[in-house]
Structure 1
């Protein structure tokens, strides 16, 4: 299979790209990034693009499966408008191009809180993207709604505090269903979903099963 990854420099995307390159089921991995990377591999193609200029790179979106791992925080984005552009607009437009180019399987990292009718901006944003990409009618689509993620070297303070609390509670036998998920495990699950044809909304319980 030929895989495409956007968000390949993020916490999950880095692990996913590395695992795809080492997986025998994938013969080619193309990543679309905003800045040049010092990385090389016989199976890897790096496309440096401007996500605001799809007319330049749309024809290069070719393959069998698209993994969409883009994501940012409000603090990093600087405004809700910028966060919406990165977390929704860029991912939706890329998915639309992929569908038009005949890509068969779309895999998206969403959020456990995703709900287009939610009160909070982030949950609305994720829920709207889920609904919009589902409406594209890919032959196969897998939308991952993971629990709290354990990211290496994260600077997300609230996330770190929640992670510490949940891990402590888990040791006491509490909140087992909400145990934090390492990004490496999420990458494992995404690849296994493609191999095993796991489609639809993939919730945290199914993610843990796929990650084994």
Structure 2
């Protein structure tokens, strides 16, 4: 049997994060799965370790980053964050701090969710922040970084997102739209993204990798 691993998940309550946690707990190669959460999950498992975290002071939880694989599924929306500053805090500052702590504490792999269209020079704030995250991650001395860029996400959320619900309806009724050059815009399920994240973690690739939506 291959060596067992320890995993850390941030954003464990989100659409992708929930799926990542479930897959890691079910995988025999992971001996423990730590989640940093604001509130305890309604879940129990022998391998699950829950840490109530202050995300403004992630350094207080540095021991949790002594993991083999760190999965950052953090993310919010302008609507939920209320302000651009709060959005940037979650999507940029928390993610980068997590990556820095992962590097400092010897994590082998850092895997994170970005977005299709991420570009630090974009005129669109959402895409610009996602691009800034990707640019910064390239400069952090990690053994391996995997960035996942899904298009609109499908799946059950705790919140309603009109754009993604519309995309889901279009994809179901007119799947032929997402062919050829538009294939990369086809909505992807949160479960598929989570599956690819765990899959890539287990492949032991070194370096910086970007996985675009049409490969998810």
TM-score higher than 0.5: yes
Structure 2 gaps of 5+ residues are none
Q: Distance in 1 between matches of 2:24 and 2:114?
A: 20
**Partner in structure 2 of residue 163 of structure 1:** 168
**Partner in structure 2 of residue 41 of structure 1:** 45
TM-score (norm 1): 0.92
- Per-residue CA deviations over 1:51-91 (Å, capped at 9, x if unaligned) read 11234212332110100000011111111100100111011
Q: Distance in 1 between matches of 2:201 and 2:102?
A: 16
Q: Which runs of 4+ in 1 moved over 6 A?
A: none
Q: How does 1:94-113 map to 2 (within 5 A)?
A: 94-113=98-117
CA displacement at 1:196 relative to structure 2: 2.2
- Per-residue CA deviations over 1:122-162 (Å, capped at 9, x if unaligned) read 00000000111121031111100112110214501122112
Q: Distance in 2 between matches of 1:54 and 1:144?
A: 23
Instruction: Report whether the alignment pairs 1:194 with 2:185.
Output: no
What do you get for the CA RMSD once the two structures are aligned? Answer: 1.4
Give SS of 1:102's match: coil
- Per-residue CA deviations over 1:12-65 (Å, capped at 9, x if unaligned) read 100110110001121110000111223211111001010112342123321101
Alignment partner of 2:214 out of 200, 205, 209:
205
Q: Distance in 2 between matches of 1:204 and 1:185?
A: 10
Q: Distance in 2 between matches of 1:59 and 1:143?
A: 24
Kept after mapping to 1: 8 A contact 2:7/2:68: yes
* Mean Cα deviation higher: 195-204 or 31-40: 195-204
Q: How does 1:48-127 map to 2 (within 5 A)?
A: 48-127=52-131
Q: Distance in 1 between matches of 2:8 and 2:154?
A: 24
Kept after mapping to 2: 8 A contact 1:167/1:180: no
Give SS of 1:27's match: strand
Number of aligned positions between the proteins: 205
TM-score (norm 2): 0.90
Q: Distance in 1 between matches of 2:12 and 2:44?
A: 14
